[in-house]
Homo-oligomer: A and B are copies of this chain.
């Protein structure tokens, strides 16, 4: 088993899109999907983006700014989009957006977003350096800058 290369990759190489149908077991008595189920899907989508970038096993370390904007109803489609925002030595931040798509009308709306921080581990279960993620578009560059500020806030919160 060869070691994953440590050469930088582009942010766009990590883009992950997931599509899921809302099943009855995932809904509450208002007929809307449970927050915990959406969080589970967000974590999977972000972990895949992180593994695509690192080629490593990754473990969720922190979740920030998780907001639910509108409910997703039974029978709607859940679409998730995740991509790496920035790498910090052995950890990296991934951003994710969740959309609901009405399969009757084709309309799609954003319903949630969050930032997930993962740590990458080597074959011996030790944290391991991660190659840089190069932002190319204006949006990717903006997220790259903002990720540094969010990291500072996280470090401050931990000390406090």
On chain B, the residues within 8 Å of A29 by CB distance are 57, 75
Q: Among the listed B30, B44, B65, B106, which residue makes an inter-chain contact with A52, where contact means beta carbons less than 8 Å apart? A: B106
Supposing A36-B40, A63-B39, A71-B59 touch, asked if A25 and B28 sit within 8 A by C-beta, the answer is: no
With both beta carbons as reference points, the residue of chain B lying nearest to A158 in the complex is identified as: B67
Residue A105 CB within 8 A of the other chain = yes
Question: Chain A interface secondary structure, helix, strand, loop or mixed?
Answer: mixed
On chain B, the residues within 8 Å of A40 by CB distance are 36-37, 39-40
Tally of A interface residues using CB under 8 Å: 58
Supposing A23-B25, A30-B59, A62-B66 touch, asked if A43 and B39 sit within 8 A by C-beta, the answer is: yes
**Which stretch (A11-19, A128-136, A137-145) binds chain B?**
A11-19
On chain B, the residues within 8 Å of A45 by CB distance are 19
On chain B, the residues within 8 Å of A25 by CB distance are 23-25
With both beta carbons as reference points, the residue of chain B lying nearest to A125 in the complex is identified as: B30
Give the Cβ gap from A41 to chain B, nearest Cβ, in Å: 7
Give the Cβ gap from A51 to chain B, nearest Cβ, in Å: 4
Complex Cα distance, B13 from A77, in Å, reads 15
Contact with B along A50-92 (1 / 0, CB 8 A): 0110011101111111111001000101000000000000000
Given A36-B47, A52-B103, 4 more pairs with CB closer than 8 A: A34-B60, A35-B47, A35-B59, A64-B65
